[in-house]
Structure 1
Amino acid sequence: MVEREQFGQLNRRSLLVGMASWAIGQGLLGCSQQNSIPLTIEMLRASIPSQLLQRFRQQVKQSTPSVALNVVSEAQLQILFSQLQSWQQSSQQPQSASSRSWFDQIPFLGKGKTGIPDLVTLGDFWLSNAVKQGLLQPFSETDRAGLTSWPQLVNNPKLSEILLRNDQGQVDARGQVWGIPYRLSSTVIAYRRDILKQRGLPPPTDWQDLWRPEFRGRISLLNQPREVIGLALKKLGHSYNTEDLATVPDLKPTLQALNQQAKFYSSDAYLQPLMLDDTWIAVGWSLDVLPLGDRLSKIAAVIPASGTALSADLWVRPKTAVAKLSAPALAWLDFWWQPEIAAQLSLLTWGISPALLGQPLDQLPEDLRDHPLLFPEGKVLQASEFLKPLPEKSLQQYQQVWAEMRSPVAAT
C-alpha cells in the first residue's frame, strides 16, 4: 500500500541551534546518558501521535530509568523501505569512521553507534520484498516470549493470516514472524452525501454499486491493480488474492465496464475531485478518507458489505540491528497493545489498533463507538482480506489484465 501522512515534518537542523532544545523540538525524545540503554525507533510520520510517545517515555522510565529514547520519523513508507536497503548495503561494505555521516556518528541525535534503529515501521505491502531481499531479521522465540501481547496477537484469526512468512516473504504457517502490527486500515467507498441526496440517489453500500449507471463518469479509482482488480473480484464472489485470473471468466468485461464508470485514477489525489464535485464516488484508503469525512459533513464513507482490503503498519527489525531486543524495545512493542493506548491510537490516527480488531462495536470504548467505520466487524471483517504476496506469474497476469482494462482514462 502506498504511504499516507497527515502531520508536520521532522526537520534536521544545525547543531549550532543548541543540542537539547533542538532534539526536544524535533520530537527526538529522551537524552543520551553515559551507560544508558538506547532505544531508537524510525517510524512513519503521523502513525504515532506525539502525546502517546510522551506517555511511553514516562512509562518506560519507571521500569528503565536509564533508557535513552530516540524517535525519528519519515514521510513515506517508500523512504523507510529504501533505508532498510541502504543499511543492508552499507553493512556489506566496510566504512571508515570518516566516511560515515556525521549525523549517524552522534548517538545523541543519530541512531546510535551503528546507525541502525532497533525497530522500523514498514507496511505489510512492503514486507514480502523486504524479507526476500534479506533486509530484515525475524522476531525470535525469545523475543516473542518477552511480549505480554503475543498470545493476543497470535490468537487473532485475522492477523494470523499474514503473521508467518517463509524466507521468500510468502505467507506460510511454518514460517517466521517478520513484523508486529500496530495499526490497521482498510479500503472504503467515499461519496458525496449532499449530491446523492439532492438527486434522490441511494448511497453505495457495496462494491457492486460502483457499476450503477447513474455513477458513470463520476467515480475516482485508486491507481493500484491489486486494489481495483481485487474489488471487482469481490463483486464477483472471489478473493482479492486470486492467483489465476483466468479462472474468473466474467472478470475482464466487469473491469471494462468499471473503467467506463471511472473519471479519474490516482493513488494520492483521488479525494480532490470528490471535494470539487467532479466525482461523486471515490474508492480510497480509510486513513485518507475518514479524517476528511470528520471535517466535512458532505463527505461520507462506507466499508463494503462483501468485504474489503485490509493493510497493516508493522514494526520490523533491520537485518543489521542488534541481535537481541532490549527490554525497552519489548516494552515499546507491548505498549501499543494496552487497551487504553490502543483506543487512543485508533482515535488519534484514524487507524485500527490490532488489539481491538474483531471486538463487537458495543464492547469498544465509548469514544470509539461514534466511529464504526474504523472497525470492520462481524461478517464484513470475516470477508475482508489482507493483500497477500502473489507469485511472480500471478503478478504479471494482474499487470496484463490491468493494461487491457485501462483505456482511455488517464492515470495520475
Structure 2
Amino acid sequence: MLMNRRSFLAGAGGVALTTLLAGCQRASSGDLRLAMLANSVPAQLLRAFEQLPDRGGGLSISPQDSLVELYSLLQRWHSQPEGATPPPLADWVSLADYWLAPAIRQGLLQPLDVTALTAWGDLAAVWPDLVRRTAEGIPDGAGSLWAVPYRWSHLVLLYDSTRLPRSAAQLTTWADLLRPELARRVVLPDHPRLVLGLAQKALGAAANGADPAAVAGLADFLDRLQRQVRVYDSSRYLETLIVGDATAVVAWADDVLPMLRQYRQLAVAVPPEGTVLSAQLWVRPEASPAPSPAAMDWLNFCLGADFATQLAIFGQTLSPLLWGESPQQWPEPLRSPPQIGLDRAIAARSEFLLPLTAEAENRYGQLWQTLRA
C-alpha cells in the first residue's frame, strides 16, 4: 500500500526549486546517480553537496512522483524483460521504511557496509534497529543493514479550531476524533495499517500487534470512528480541510508545517499515547556495483549536522540526527508551533509500521474490510 506524504499545494519557492533541480539533472554523465521522490531532498541541499570541497564529477537526479514508481525502478533493474532498455542504474534510491521488507524479500536490494560512514555511530539505536533485517525483511539484531535513513516524520492531528465549540476548541488525543461534533468531519489515511495502528495506539496497544481484534475495545472504537469519517484519502486530504469539507485530518507532520504558517485557523497535536512514524531511506539496487567513494560521500553528507539543519530550513522535516533531542533543541523552522514536536516521552510510545506474518496480515486485511463495509 502506498503511503502518500506529498502535499497537494506547492510552496511559494516551487519555481526556484524546480530550476535548481533541473541544474542537477543536466549532469547526466555524473559520477553519482540518485533516484528519489521529487523534493524529498531540497534542491538547495543537492547544490550544497555539489559544491563541497574536493567534490569531483556531477550529480544526476531522477525525480519520481511516487513510491510506486521508485519501487518499479528497483524491479526493472532486478528483472529486465529481454530486449528492453533499462533506465540508467542509480547508486541510491529513496524508499519508505514500509517498503523495505518487500524489497528485501524480492531480492531488489543489496546489504550495506556502513564502516565508512563517520556519523553512523552517532545515530540513536532506533535507526539501525529499523534497517537491520533478515533476508525475509524481518527486523533482527543479527541481520544485515539494508538502508541508511535520511529523513523522518510522524502522524499528527490537524484541525480547524474555528469549527469546534469554543468551550472545547482543542483536539489532543486520538480518542478526540470520536467527539460528536466531528461526525462525518474527519479525514483518515486510505491505508489499513495507519488507521488500525492509530486506533490501537488510542487504546494503549501496539500498532504492530499480531492480532488487532484481540485489543480490548477495538471493535467498538473502530465502529464509532467509522461514523466520524467523511473520506479515507492519502493524496488530497489537506485540501479537504482547507476548503471546509472536513474539520480534522490525520496527516504527516512535514506536510502540515507549511499549512500552519499559511492558515492561522489550523491547529495541531501529537497525541500523548504515541503515534505512527515513517522514514525515508537510501537503499542500493541489487544490480549496482560496489559503492564508489562519491556514493559513500553522499551518505556521509546526509548524516551530517549541516544536512540536518538545512533539511529543517528548506524541507521543514527531520533528520535522524534529531531523534531523541528535545523539540526545543530542533532547528528554528521545526519548533513552531510547539505542539507539533515529538518529545521524548511520546517518541518512546511511537512506532514504525513493521512487517507482519502472513496470518497477521490477513487479520488486518479482514478487519479493514469490515471497517470499510
Normalising by structure 2, report the TM-score: 0.91
Q: Could you tell me how far apart the structure 1 residues matched to 2:343 and 2:366 are?
A: 34
**Do the aligned partners of residues 29 and 57 (structure 1) sit closer, same or farther apart at CA in structure 2, a change above 3 Å counting?**
farther
For 1:278, the equivalent position in structure 2 comes to: 245
After TM superposition, give the deviation of residue 253 of structure 1 in Å: 1.5
The 3 A distance-change label for structure 1 pair 244 and 41 is same
- Return the alpha-carbon distance in structure 2 between the equivalents of residues 334 and 371 of structure 1: 31
Q: Which of 123, 126, 129 does residue 96 from structure 2 map onto?
A: 123
Identity of aligned residues (%): 35
In structure 2, do the counterparts of structure 1 residues 273 and 366 end up closer, same or farther at CA, with 3 Å as the change threshold?
closer
Partner of residue 370, structure 1? 336
Does 1:291 pair with 2:258? yes
Q: How many residue pairs were aligned?
A: 364
Where does residue 296 of structure 2 map in the other structure? 330
User: Equivalent residue for 1:240?
Assistant: 207
Alpha-carbon distance change, 48 to 376 in structure 1, aligned in 2, over 3 angstroms: same
2:119 matched residue in structure 1: 149
In structure 2, distance between residues paired with 1:368 and 1:284:
16
The Cα shift of 1:406 comes to 1.8
Equivalents in 1 of 2:185, 2:27: separation in Å?
50
Unaligned runs of 5+ in 2: none
Superimposed CA distance per residue, residues 228-253 of structure 1 (whole angstroms, 9 cap, x where no aligned partner): 11111111110000111232142111
Residues 194-245 of structure 1 deviation map (CA, whole Å, 9 limit, x = unaligned): 222x643231111111112222222111111111111111111100001112
Pairing 1:176–2:144 present? yes
Residue of 345, 353, 356 corresponding to 1:390: 356
Give the gaps of 5 or more residues in structure 1: 10-21, 105-114, 408-412
Per-residue deviation at 1:49?
0.9
Task: Return the index of the structure with the highest Cα Rg.
Answer: 1
Given candidates 264, 271, 277, the residue that maps to 1:304 is 271
1:18 aligned residue:
none
Q: Tell me which amino acid in the other structure corresponds to 1:406.
A: R
- Paired position in structure 1 for 2:175: 208
1:250 equivalent among 193, 217, 220: 217
Q: Which residue of 2 aligns with 1:14?
A: none
Distance 1:207 1:131, change over 3 A: same
**How well do the aligned residues superpose, as a CA RMSD in angstroms?**
2.2
Instruction: Measure the CA separation in 2 of the matches of 1:26 and 1:54.
Output: 9
Secondary structure class of the residue paired with 2:230: strand
| Contact map agreement 1:343 1:368 (CA 8 A) in 2 | no
Alpha carbons of structure 1 residues 41 and 361: separation in structure 2 relative to 1, 3 Å: same
Match of 2:5?
4
Higher mean C-alpha displacement, 368-377 vs 295-304: 368-377
TM-score normalised by structure 1 residue count: 0.83
Q: 2:85 pairs with 92, 100, 104, which one? A: 100
Tell me the CA shift for residue 291 of structure 1: 1.9
Once the two structures are overlaid, the 10-residue window that deviates more, 43-52 or 345-354, is 345-354
Letter in 2 for 1:358: G
Shift of 1:41: 0.9
Distance 1:24 1:266, change over 3 A: closer
The reply on whether 1:344 has 2:310 as its aligned counterpart is yes
